[in-house]
Every structure is written in structure tokens, then in C-alpha cells.
Amino acid sequence: MTLEMAILLLAVAIIGIVLTGKYLRKRRALRIVCIVLLSLIALALSCYIGLTLIFIDAVQNQPPAL
């Protein structure tokens, strides 16, 4: 997965959380399940993006080979 795709999916998950809270007010159980699922997806994508940025920084700042 590319970094751009991960950022796009993270944005979709966050928008999904907001829209779920807005449109599923009457169906409490479904709303909770959707928010939990989308939150876990957003957490996983955030970790993926963070680790990718750390690895990119490590590659760019590695010491010169002797």
C-alpha cells in the first residue's frame, strides 16, 4: 500500500466516523459497531503512516557507507 492510499483511507475512515454519528442516531447498536470498527481501521492506518514516515526519515538520514 502506498503512503498516499493510506492517507486517503484514513480520511475516508474519519469521515465515516463523523457520518455514522450523524446518520445512525436511532440505531444505537449499529452506530456503536460502526464507530468501533472505523476507529480500529483509523488507528491501524495511523500506525502504518507513522511507521512509514519514520522509515523514510531513517533512510534519508543514514550515515554514509565506508
Distance between CA atoms of 25 and 28, rounded to whole angstroms? 6
Predicted confidence (pLDDT) at residue 66 exceeds the cutoff of 80: no
> Can you say whether the dihedral through the CA atoms of 58, 40, 12, 22 is positive or negative?
negative
Q: Could you report the per-residue pLDDT of 42-56, keeping only the tens digit for each?
A: 999 999 999 999 999
Question: For residue 39, how far is the Cα from the chain centroid?
Answer: 8
Q: Could you report the per-residue pLDDT of 22-31, keeping only the tens digit for each?
A: 999 999 999 9
